[in-house]
Amino acid sequence: MKFNKPATSIDDQIALLRRRGMVVNDEATARHYLGHISYYRLRAYWLPFEVPAADGDHALTPDTRFEDVLALYVFDRQLRLMVMDAVERVEVAIRAQWAHHMAMTYGAHGYLEQAHYGHVTRHAAAVADLTKEFKRSRDTFAEHYRAKYSSPKLPPVWMAAEVMSFGLLSKFLGDLKLRGDRQAIARPFGLDEKVLTSFAHHMSHVRNICAHHGRLWNRRFTIRMAVPKSPAKLAVALRGADDRYLHNTLVMLDHLLTIVAPDTEWRERLVDHLATCPLPAPAAMGFPGGWQNRQAWRVG
The pLDDT value recorded for residue 56 is 62
Residues 71-81: pLDDT tens digits?
999 999 999 99
Type of residue numbered 235: A
- The answer to whether residue 300 scores a pLDDT higher than 90 is no
CB 71, CB 146: distance < 8 Å: no
| Mean pLDDT confidence for 8-20 | 94
State the Rg of the chain over Cα.
23
Q: Within the chain, where are the H helices?
A: 10-19, 27-36, 39-46, 66-106, 120-136, 140-148, 157-163, 166-174, 179-186, 193-211, 232-238, 247-260, 266-274, 281-284
β-strand 50-52 against 58-60: which pairing, if any? Answer: antiparallel
- The answer to whether residue 51 scores a pLDDT higher than 90 is no
55 confidence band (pLDDT: 50, 70, 90):
low
- The answer to whether residue 132 scores a pLDDT higher than 70 is yes
The pLDDT value recorded for residue 46 is 92
The pLDDT value recorded for residue 149 is 96
252 confidence band (pLDDT: 50, 70, 90):
very high
| Mean pLDDT confidence for 209-219 | 94
50: which strand partners?
60
d(CA 170, CA 202): 9
293 confidence band (pLDDT: 50, 70, 90):
confident
- The answer to whether residue 243 scores a pLDDT higher than 80 is yes
| Mean pLDDT confidence for 201-220 | 94
The pLDDT value recorded for residue 3 is 85
d(CA 190, CA 223): 22
